Amino acid sequence: ITRYNIHNARLNAAVALMEANIETPLSIDQIASQASVSKRHLERLFDQQIGQRPGRFYTAIRLRHARGLLRQTALPVSTVAALSGFSTSAYFTRRYKHFFGTPPKDDRCD
């Protein structure tokens, strides 16, 4: 996946799985298994090549996806949260605000 400058095939596979499973997120164990690597090795690969834990990276992918939906659609925040794999709007709003510095409702491009 060139936008992340990743040169490890298993790490590429893991990131591709994350990007393909936004609405219904996989566990890190599932991602590791499907990428044919142990969870611990996957964590090491993320740390070495991306500089963060896989769970945090996956959440960032989902939050960026949500931001795109907020800016490009008129979907309610609760729907955007669900389409981005968050179980509740409240949890989504907290994570979104922490990540982007603004609540989802204020990030709409009207």
The encoded tokens of residue 4 equal: 């992340």
Q: How far is CA 3 from CA 18, 34, 49, 56, in A?
A: 14, 22, 13, 17
Q: What is the C-alpha to C-alpha distance for residues 89 and 32, in angstroms, rounded to an integer?
A: 28
Q: How many CA atoms lie within 13 A of 11 on its CB side?
A: 23
pLDDT tens, residue by residue, 4-50: 778 889 999 999 999 999 999 999 999 999 999 999 999 999 999 99
Q: What is the C-alpha to C-alpha distance for residues 23 and 61, in angstroms, rounded to an integer?
A: 11
**Stated pTM of the model:** 0.92
